[in-house]
Chains A and B, each alone.
Chain A
């Protein structure tokens, strides 16, 4: 069965610093992987997705993620954090043979001025 592990329930960075949010997955088939962002009391917004093809995926708001099959990882990065990036981020993998998504427990990103 698929699963998603997000390392670190909270990550704190300074404004302008590199953002790195970690996601590892388990899947018995080539995975479809997603990153979503959630601002307080709002729904989730799709940041980016990996299905097939290029392993470096660019998303909205300057975020990108790299699919590394050998490491079963899909870490999310942004070169320079902005105060508006403060939110909760969820990694998800598509479940085998269906269109259900399995979500990680989330990482709350704090950006210090």
Chain B
């Protein structure tokens, strides 16, 4: 079955540590996105990539980094510079020229 995989489902880290969240898709989609979701808020865009080896900052990119070395993969690193990293992180993808995005199951990151 085609879809988007995010791993792990739950992630715990100590403050000051970098952590990388995985996102893989086998939908052959060109574009991929990372969102952050906090309780009672909508989704906020962190980074997005429309093509391999290229990505753009979203609305809240500070303290995060990404790479897009393969079409299928778009890992997100939450660095120690992110002031409040505890949140639910969602990865999405879409075909080029098509607006609707398809979402993975999410990773809940807790930093203490």
Contacts and interface: CB of A to CB of B under 8 A. Distances in A.
Nearest to B6: A43
B22 to A, nearest CB: 14
Contact of A103 (B42, B97, B104, B108): B42
Nearest to B98: A99
Interface string B27-40: 00001010000001
Given A34-B99, A43-B104, A99 B43 contact: no
Contacts of A43: 4, 6, 90, 92, 103-106
Interface centre among A46, A90, A103, A105 (most CB of B within 10 A): A103
B52 interface: no
Q: Give the 9 A-B residue pairs with the shortest CB-CB distance, closest first.
A: A43-B103, A103-B42, A44-B103, A105-B42, A103-B43, A94-B99, A32-B99, A43-B105, A43-B106
13 contacts: A9-B40, A42-B106, A43-B6, A43-B90, A43-B92, A44-B103, A45-B103, A46-B100, A99-B99, A100-B48, A101-B101, A105-B41, A106-B42
